Amino acid sequence: MNTPRIAIVGAGISGICMGVALRRAGFTDFTLFEKGADYGGTWRDNVYPGLVCDVPSRYYQFTFAMNPEWSRLYSTGPEIKDYLVGVAHDHGLREHTRFGVEVTAAEFTGDGWRVSGSDGRVERFDFVLCATGFLHRPNLPDIPGLDEFRGTVMHSARWRDDVELTGKRVGVIGTGSTGTQLVGALAGQVPKVVMFQRTPQWILPTVNRAYTGVSKQLYRRIPLLGKASYHLNRGFFAAFSQGLVHPGRVRTFIQWVVARNLRSVEDPVLRRKLTPDYQAMCKRLVVSDRFYRAIQRPDVELVTEGIDHIDEHGVVTADGVHHDLDILLLATGFDSHAFMRPMAITGTDGRTLDEAWAAGPRAFEGVMMPDFPNLFMLVGPHSPFANHPLTAVAEAQSARIVGWLTRWRAGEFETVAPTRAATDRYNARMRAAAPSTVWTTGCQSWYLGKDGLPELWPWTPSAYEKLIRSTPTAADYRLSQRAVTRK
Ligand code: NAP
């Protein structure tokens, strides 16, 4: 039987998921390249105080590695990272993983892919599977004077444990999931928190209760409970996603819930400042059990005046007010369109990824591209789904990729890539559907691409799973046949 040599780039959620899927399908010749020192991707990089996943623990996990030990309804970042490390070790990925090696380039040679690593090695692979994630390149704000600040400046994804927060006045720029979590965690722990808000966010209320010893015992003893809980959450998210992609009752209901939640802010002036002028879910919905409580504290200040510049001692807003600070936290998000960059990827006829994506990241069914044979992506363009868990997306996409690898192993083809026509059709359908989604209802967000349309799948996650788990349509692909049989 032919055995493909496979490179997986990235050992976060999707890389781990892919590695496990390969092993389970009997593929043994694969290398998992990871530039960091451990598994976990975003959950390894993000260690800021207050980091909690806003998808329930019992849903934010792999179906092949159900964990009865989750401590709370919503897990903390470190707990998820430990879970992912455990999955990787339990499924034998350690022997396949090369930590500290960044893939710098991958070039299709006509006889597979030539992959260059930061360790100077250049190797040949039959397939390259990119599991590089999309929220890893920090978006650093271009604010005049940022370099002049004498205190400490940290982006939320570059947290430094050596920075002492005790007794410090802390500024937080950004009001997304990260900024609200930071403010929720720091309020009351430091003498002063100043949140700089450019745009207010709608907040979905929640309660993060702990699982009792008895309930964990039950989940341990009755695995069916874990599965039931997973599917219950899946049903809830499926209902929620209807509101994302169609106007209607779900959207109206969520709007009502967040507006009601906002009423818990007692001061009408503060409430007005926190009131968005766009529909709920247009930006990624923030889920929090503590933000409104935190922002109403006397030691927390919300600044809505625009930032003019930063000087040695703090932030100066457009009204001329100087906000004295010791630490400035940038919760300013990520370049979500960077996808596999800065890797230099070159497909057939010298076509580079940057050329192919000059108008923005485009793929076929989220996982493949024309002109880049035998290259697959996990959680690639248009496959993130707002608040939907990436664990589920990665599982479905891994199954599709394993399907192709199995066909290669059976000798059905040498290389596969989608046709340009199929890819164009697929992207045109998505663009046509985009206007009915909530993401185009009048707000700025990281979901939007250069053309102002969301780079998200514009239908429900279950519709995507159905598509990606179906048998690929032969006419959509160009397959080349094997000239010689490999050993
Ligand atoms: P984000 O949602 O992109 O929010 C960035 C914030 O920074 C926004 O409030 C933005 O304001 C502000 N900002 C950016 N540049 C600025 C500037 N120059 N001056 C002033 N404000 C500026 O980033 P995030 O909060 O890090 O979240 C990113 C994504 O990570 C989330 O959407 C989510 O997918 C993921 N995440 C998930 C969790 C979880 O619980 N699962 C937790 C954290 C993050 P504007 O709104 O005006 O642009």
pLDDT by 10s per residue, the chain, length 487: 689 999 999 999 999 999 999 999 999 999 999 999 999 999 999 999 999 999 999 999 999 999 999 999 999 999 999 999 999 999 999 999 999 999 999 999 999 999 999 999 999 999 999 999 988 889 999 999 999 999 999 999 999 999 999 999 999 999 999 999 999 999 999 999 999 999 999 999 999 999 999 999 999 999 999 999 999 999 999 999 999 999 999 999 999 999 999 999 999 999 999 999 999 999 999 999 999 999 999 999 999 999 999 999 999 999 999 999 999 999 999 988 788 888 999 999 999 999 999 988 999 999 999 999 999 999 999 986 777 899 999 999 999 999 999 999 999 999 999 999 999 999 999 999 999 999 999 999 999 988 899 999 999 999 999 999 999 999 999 999 876 555 4
The Cα 408–Cα 374 span in angstroms is: 10
The Cα 203–Cα 290 span in angstroms is: 10
- The atom of ligand 1 lying closest to the CA of 141 is 18
Distances (CA, A) of 203 to 175, 223, 228, 282: 10, 33, 28, 12
- The atom of ligand 1 lying closest to the CA of 177 is 25
Given this model, what pLDDT does residue 134 score? 85
The Cα 50–Cα 280 span in angstroms is: 23
Give the pairing of strands 127-130 and 6-9.
Answer: parallel
Q: Are 377 and 394 in contact (CB under 8 A)?
A: no
* Cβ of 389 below 6 Å from ligand 1: no
* Cβ of 244 below 6 Å from ligand 1: no
**How far does the centroid of ligand 1 lie from the alpha carbon of residue 75, in Å?**
20
132's CB contacts (< 8 A; 6+ apart) are 9, 10, 339, 340, 343
Q: Are 101 and 35 in contact (CB under 8 A)?
A: yes
**Which residue among 142, 178, 456 has the greatest number of ligand 1 atoms within 8 angstroms of its CB, and so is best to mutate?**
178
Given this model, what pLDDT does residue 225 score? 97
Ligand 1 atom 46 nearest Cα: 199
* Cβ of 176 below 6 Å from ligand 1: yes
Q: Are 177 and 201 in contact (CB under 8 A)?
A: no
- The atom of ligand 1 lying closest to the CA of 156 is 26
**Which residue among 332, 336, 448 has the greatest number of ligand 1 atoms within 8 angstroms of its CB, and so is best to mutate?**
332
Given this model, what pLDDT does residue 341 score? 85
* Cβ of 391 below 6 Å from ligand 1: no
Beta strands in 17-87 (DSSP E): 30-34
CA-nearest of 379, 362, 340, 386 to 468 is 379
Given this model, what pLDDT does residue 484 score? 52
Given this model, what pLDDT does residue 385 score? 75
Ligand 1 atom 2 nearest Cα: 176
Given this model, what pLDDT does residue 487 score? 43
Given this model, what pLDDT does residue 483 score? 60
The domains of the chain, with CATH numbers, are 6-137+335-480 (3.50.50.60), 146-330 (3.50.50.60)
- The atom of ligand 1 lying closest to the CA of 384 is 34
The Cα 453–Cα 407 span in angstroms is: 35
Q: Is the peptide bond before 342 cis (omega within 30 degrees of 0)?
A: yes
The pTM score is 0.95
Point out which residues pair with 329 in neighbouring strands: 154, 172
Ligand 1 atom 36 nearest Cα: 177
Q: Are 197 and 302 in contact (CB under 8 A)?
A: yes
Ligand 1 atom 18 nearest Cα: 141
